């Protein structure tokens, strides 16, 4: 594994590892050992991506994972994974045990995964978030976005009849969150391993309509630009065929309503970052292209909660 497993500045290294892991894991009767001993730092989005990838294969192969040489791991990294719930998510048969982390100021919504968008799931998420962060401003907007994210996976992320390069867990999503007490920063992340926004967008809208939006925004047609175009192309929430695009409206609106909000979407090879409080347009909206497909869609939003 690369020393820094983070999608902030190390996207290429992280995705090179994920791609290699997928190549090995897809082989029949192939056992794969991921060497965590080289890992020194983990970012939140990278942690969710890794957790989902490992969870995919243990579910598809129907086996319990086993941790080896954990005493040789970086102990802060190992504690972090323990507190984030990685070993529970993967149903590890010999989970390492640790005391309090050096980063006790950070609390986590532990990894969770499901393939439904039922109302009780959203309620459970709300309870988990408020248990670590307390009351959340504009809470109804936040939880509507979470519910929409789950519904989007069910309705759009895994289209019927689609061919996938690697096996999938139909309608599966993964979620995690954290709250940093010193700076009162709440981070929530949601990930699916579906076809991605750049693929679904032209299936919902004509090429002329998409090109018109891209021309209006002054963007060339690539995955990052298509994520940005999706913000403009959503329809009414009552239009079930395009319901998923209401998700972007909900998240964008929420980041506008709170202090120091940030929305980040990675899908395909594209990345879109939105910081509504920035006065500089280039800093307010960023579109990035990466060389390796993330294999689905990862949504991350962050807010600074007010002092109680």
- Write the DSSP string, 67-99: --SGGGS-HHHHHHHHHHTHHHHTT-SS-----
Which residue range(s) make up the domain with 23?
1-104
Domain boundary among 57, 87, 104: 104
Residues 134 and 281 in one domain: yes
pTM summary value: 0.90
Residue 117: band (very low, low, confident or very high) from pLDDT cuts 50, 70, 90: low
Percent of the chain clearing pLDDT 90 (strictly above): 50
Residues 15 and 94 in one domain: yes
Residues 173 and 72 in one domain: no
pLDDT greater than 50 at residue 236: no
Query: CA-CA distance, 278 to 112, in Å (whole number)?
Result: 32
Query: CA-CA distance, 199 to 196, in Å (whole number)?
Result: 6
- 280 burial (CB, 10 Å; 0-12 / 13-18 / 19+) is exposed
Residue 241: band (very low, low, confident or very high) from pLDDT cuts 50, 70, 90: very low
Residues 74 and 146 in one domain: no
Residues 280 and 177 in one domain: yes
Residues 133 and 264 in one domain: yes
Average pLDDT over residues 279-291: 87
Lowest mean pLDDT among 33-37, 99-103, 125-129, 147-151: 99-103
Residues 25 and 155 in one domain: no
Cα 57 from chain centroid (whole Å) = 18
Residues 66 and 91 in one domain: yes
Residues 58 and 169 in one domain: no
pLDDT, one tens digit per residue, over 165-184 is 888 998 999 999 999 988 88
pLDDT greater than 70 at residue 21: yes
| 107 vs 237, more confident | 107
Of 64, 67, 61, 6, give the one whose Cα is nearest residue 29: 61
Residues 133 and 163 in one domain: yes
What local confidence, expressed as pLDDT, does residue 118 receive?
A: 63
| Average model confidence (pLDDT) across the chain | 86
pLDDT, one tens digit per residue, over 44-97 is 999 999 999 999 999 998 889 999 998 899 989 999 999 999 999 999 999 987
pLDDT greater than 70 at residue 240: no
Lowest mean pLDDT among 5-9, 94-98, 220-224: 94-98
pLDDT greater than 90 at residue 215: yes
Percent of the chain clearing pLDDT 70 (strictly above): 91
Domain boundary among 104, 138, 166: 104
pLDDT greater than 50 at residue 280: yes
Neighbours of 124 (CB within 10 A): 13
Domain boundary among 48, 82, 104: 104
Residues 177 and 81 in one domain: no
Residues 8 and 116 in one domain: no
8 A C-beta contact, residue 268 and residue 222: no
Lowest mean pLDDT among 142-156, 158-172, 195-209, 281-295: 142-156
Q: How many domains does the chain have?
A: 2
Q: What is the CATH number of the domain that holds 251?
A: 3.30.565.10
């Amino acid at each position: 594994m690369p020393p820094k497993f983070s999608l902030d500045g190390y996207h290429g290294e992280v995705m090179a590892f994920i791609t290699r892991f997928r190549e090995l894991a897809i082989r029949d009767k192939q056992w794969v050992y991921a060497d965590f001993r080289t890992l020194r730092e983990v970012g939140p989005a990278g942690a969710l991506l890794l957790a989902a990838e490992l969870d995919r294969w243990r579910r598809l192969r129907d086996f319990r994972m086993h941790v080896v040489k954990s005493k040789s791991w970086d102990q802060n990294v190992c504690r972090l994974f323990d507190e984030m719930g990685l070993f529970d998510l993967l149903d590890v048969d010999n989970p390492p045990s640790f005391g309090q982390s050096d980063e006790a100021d950070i609390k986590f919504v532990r990894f969770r995964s499901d393939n439904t968008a039922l109302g009780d799931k959203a309620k459970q998420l709300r309870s988990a978030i408020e248990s670590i962060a307390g009351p959340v401003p504009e809470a109804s907007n936040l939880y509507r976005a979470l519910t929409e994210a789950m519904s989007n996976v069910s309705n759009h992320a895994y289209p019927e009849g689609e061919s996938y390069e690697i096996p999938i867990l139909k309608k599966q999503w993964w979620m995690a969150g954290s709250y940093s007490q010193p700076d009162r920063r709440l981070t929530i992340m949601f990930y699916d391993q579906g076809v991605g926004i750049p693929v679904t967008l032209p299936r919902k809208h004509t090429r002329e309509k998409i090109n018109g939006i891209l021309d209006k925004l002054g963007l060339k047609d690539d995955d990052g630009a298509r994520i940005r175009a999706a913000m403009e192309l959503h329809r009414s929430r009552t239009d079930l065929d395009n319901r998923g695009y209401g998700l972007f409206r909900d998240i964008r609106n929420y980041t506008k309503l709170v202090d120091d909000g940030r929305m980040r979407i990675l899908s395909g090879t594209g990345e879109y970052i939105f910081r509504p409080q920035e006065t500089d347009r280039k800093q307010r909206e960023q579109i990035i292209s990466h060389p390796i497909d993330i294999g689905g869609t990862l949504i991350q939003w962050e807010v600074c909660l007010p002092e109680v």
